[in-house]
Chain A
Amino acid sequence: MVNLGFSIGDLDFKNPVLTASGTFGYGPEFDDFLDVSRLGGIFVKGTTLEPREGNLYPRMAETPSGMLNAVGLQNKGIDYFEKNIYPRISGYDTNVIVNINGSYIGDYVALAERINALDKIPAIELNISCPNVKMGGMAFGTNPGSAREVTKAVRAVYGKKLIVKLSPNVTNIVDFARIVEEEGADSISLINTLLGMSVDVRKMKPALSTITGGLSGPAIKPVALRMVWQVAKEVKIPVIGMGGIMTTSDALEFILAGATAVQVGTASFIDPQASIKILEGIEKYLIEKGFSDIKDIVGYINRNS
C-alpha cells in the first residue's frame, strides 16, 4: 500500500486529488458518476454573501484545447448554502471546502465568520482571483496591497484552514504567494483562469456577453505548471496546483514540480469521472515507480536537478 495522504497543518486529506471550485457544483451533481467521498476533498462552487445571478448568456466559448467562461459567480448566497446545501453535503466522508468571494473586504470577512461556524467545513478557499466579476474578485488578487489586506482581515476572523487562490493575471505570482503566506495563509491554490477572449466571426461579435472571460483547460497547463513550480520553491506552506489537468500524467507533472495536491477542474465537464481516474492513476504510478508515499515525489524535479 502506498500513502497518498497529505496535510495542511493539522487538517488531513486522504489523497491529493481535489476538485476545483466552479467545476464540480456542490458534489451531488456527480453522485451518479463517482463516489465523491473517495476524493481528497471537494472545493464547492464560489459562494457570496448575497445571491448572485451571474453574467448574461452567452457565458462560455470553446477555444483550442480549452474553454472560456464568464459565469460570474452565480450562486444562491450563504443563507441558502447554510440552509439547503450544507445539510446535503456534510455527509460526504471527505473535506468539503467552500470557495468564498466578495466585492469588499467586509464581504469576505462576514462570509468567513459564517463558514467558521459550520462544523463540517474544515477550510475555506479565499478566491481573490475570479476574473468575471466587476467588483472585487481578481481586483484583490492582482494588487499586492489588496491581496495582503484581504488575507489579513480574513485570517483575523477565521480559525480553520485558510487556502488562498491566486490569479495568474499578474507579472510576478511569487510576490503574491509570499504576501499571503506572510499574512497567515495555510495553503495556496493556483492558478485561477487566465483572462482571455474570443470573437464569433460569423456573428461578428464577441463570443461572451462580457467580452472577456476566464480561460481554462489544457491550453493553460504549461503556464499553470510554470507558476506552480515558481511558487512551490518559494513558500513553505503546501501548494495546490491546478490548470488544465486532464490526465494522471498532467497531475503528476504538477506534483513533481512541487504541488502537494492538485485540483481537477474543466476535465470534470468532459469526463465526470476524471478525478477518480487520476486518483487511481497516481496510486498506480507510485507503485510502479517503487515509492511508498506521495510525499516522496512532491517537488521531485527540484531536488534532483
Chain B
Amino acid sequence: MAKRIEDLKILENKRITDDFFILELFSAENLTDIKPGQFVQVRVDGSSDTFLRRPISIHDVDFEKNTFKLLIQITGNGTEKLSKLRNGESLNIIYPLGNSFGLPGENEKVLLVGGGCGIAPLLFLGKHLKSIGYAPDILLGFRNSERIIEYEEYLKIGNVFLTTEDGSKGEKGFVTNHSVLSTAKYDKIYCCGPDSMMKAIAGYCRKNNMNCEVSLENLMACGIGACLCCIVDTVKGNLCTCTEGPVFNTTELKW
C-alpha cells in the first residue's frame, strides 16, 4: 500500500533503561500493510539542531490495537527530544518505508541475530515468522547484563541465546562467539546490529553456506529514494538503503 504521512498519537512513551525507550503509536489507518523490516521517518520538531527526520525501524505491530512500536536508543539531540515526548502528544511520521525481510524456505531453520539497538526490527520479524509456522531461535548480544533489553519479549517467540561482552549474563563475548553457532545448524540467519557485527555474521554465513539477510542503518535525508544519500555499495552498484533496503541479502553486498 501507499506510503503516507500522518500525525500519530503517542499511546505510551516507556523508558526501559537509561538510554532506551519505546514509543507506542496509534494510527486511525489500517496498519496491515506494514511488513517486518520496514521503517518510519520521524519528524522530531524541525528545529535548528534537529532539522531532518530520523529513520527508525518498526519494532512491533499490534494489529488489534492498531498500534506500532519504535524501540529507540538515545544517541543525540533528536532521540533525546523524542524520549521526552509525553503520552497523548502526536508525532509526524512517514511510513511504511523500505523493503522487508524475505521469508525462509519451507521447513528451514531460522536464527535471528541482534545486537544493541539492532534488535529492534527482529521482534516484529520473529513474531511474524512464528505466526506462519516457523520456530526461530534468537541470539542477542549486549555490552553487559544491565544493558539487556526486551529479553522477555523475545522469549515469547522462541529460544533466546545471550551474549554480553563482559560475561555478566549469557556467554561472554560477541554474538559471533556464541556456542550455538557451532552446535546448531541453521539455514537462514536474519541479522541487525552494529556494522562490525553484521559483517562478522555475514562472513560466518558465507563460510558455512547459509543464507543471510541484514538490515542496514545508513544516514539518510528523505527516506523515499529522492536524495540518494543513504547508498550502499552492492554488486548492482550504489543502491538506496531507504528504497532498495534496508534489508539486503549479504550476497548483494560488497562485504
- The residues of A with any CB-CB pair to B shorter than 8 Å are 22-25, 29-30, 32-33, 45, 53-54, 57-67, 69, 71, 74, 217-218, 266, 268-273
B40: min CB distance to chain A, Å:
14
B224: min CB distance to chain A, Å:
5
Contact across chains for B5 and A270 when beta carbons are under 8 A apart: no
- The residues of B with any CB-CB pair to A shorter than 8 Å are 2-5, 43, 46, 48-53, 94, 218-222, 224-233, 237-238
Contact across chains for A217 and B51 when beta carbons are under 8 A apart: yes
A272 vs B95: C-alpha distance in the bound complex, in angstroms?
Answer: 12
Minimum CB distance partner of B76 in chain A: A62
Contact across chains for B224 and A29 when beta carbons are under 8 A apart: yes
- CB neighbours of A270 from chain B (8 A): 43, 46, 51-53
Partner of B227, one of A53, A63, A64, A69: A69
A71 vs B227: C-alpha distance in the bound complex, in angstroms?
Answer: 8
A214: min CB distance to chain B, Å:
12
- CB neighbours of B229 from chain A (8 A): 58-60, 69, 71
Minimum CB distance partner of B92 in chain A: A271
- CB neighbours of B238 from chain A (8 A): 53-54, 74
Contact across chains for B221 and A60 when beta carbons are under 8 A apart: yes
Q: Is the interface of A mostly helix, strand, loop or mixed?
A: loop
Given contacts A62-B52, A67-B52, A270-B52, contact A32 B2 (CB under 8 A): yes
Partner of B219, one of A24, A30, A58: A58
Partner of A69, one of B48, B53, B94, B221: B221
Contact across chains for B4 and A32 when beta carbons are under 8 A apart: yes
A71 vs B231: C-alpha distance in the bound complex, in angstroms?
Answer: 9
Minimum CB distance partner of B226 in chain A: A25
A190: min CB distance to chain B, Å:
21
A67: min CB distance to chain B, Å:
6
Contact across chains for B232 and A57 when beta carbons are under 8 A apart: yes
Q: List 7 A-B contacts (CB under 8 A).
A: A54-B231, A59-B228, A60-B220, A61-B219, A269-B52, A271-B43, A272-B222
B233: min CB distance to chain A, Å:
7
Contact across chains for B5 and A271 when beta carbons are under 8 A apart: yes
Q: Is the interface of B mostly helix, strand, loop or mixed?
A: loop
- CB neighbours of A30 from chain B (8 A): 224, 226
- CB neighbours of B219 from chain A (8 A): 57-61
Contact across chains for B218 and A57 when beta carbons are under 8 A apart: yes
A283 vs B229: C-alpha distance in the bound complex, in angstroms?
Answer: 33
Minimum CB distance partner of A33 in chain B: B5
A249 vs B49: C-alpha distance in the bound complex, in angstroms?
Answer: 21
Partner of A54, one of B3, B52, B224, B228: B228
A29-B226, A65-B48 known; 5 new pairs, CB 8 Å cut-off, are: A53-B238, A54-B228, A59-B219, A74-B228, A269-B221
Contact across chains for A64 and B94 when beta carbons are under 8 A apart: no
Contact across chains for A269 and B222 when beta carbons are under 8 A apart: yes
- CB neighbours of A61 from chain B (8 A): 219
A149: min CB distance to chain B, Å:
29
- CB neighbours of B224 from chain A (8 A): 25, 29-30, 272
Given contacts A69-B227, A74-B231, A270-B53, contact A53 B2 (CB under 8 A): no
- CB neighbours of B222 from chain A (8 A): 23, 29, 268-269, 272
- CB neighbours of A269 from chain B (8 A): 52-53, 221-222, 226-227
- CB neighbours of B3 from chain A (8 A): 32-33
A57 vs B220: C-alpha distance in the bound complex, in angstroms?
Answer: 11
- CB neighbours of B53 from chain A (8 A): 269-270
A112 vs B94: C-alpha distance in the bound complex, in angstroms?
Answer: 37
- CB neighbours of A268 from chain B (8 A): 222, 226
Most chain A CB within a 10 A radius of its CB, from B49, B225, B229 = B229
- CB neighbours of B233 from chain A (8 A): 57
- CB neighbours of A22 from chain B (8 A): 227-228
A73 vs B231: C-alpha distance in the bound complex, in angstroms?
Answer: 13
Minimum CB distance partner of A246 in chain B: B46
A65 vs B224: C-alpha distance in the bound complex, in angstroms?
Answer: 21
A25 vs B48: C-alpha distance in the bound complex, in angstroms?
Answer: 25
- CB neighbours of B218 from chain A (8 A): 57
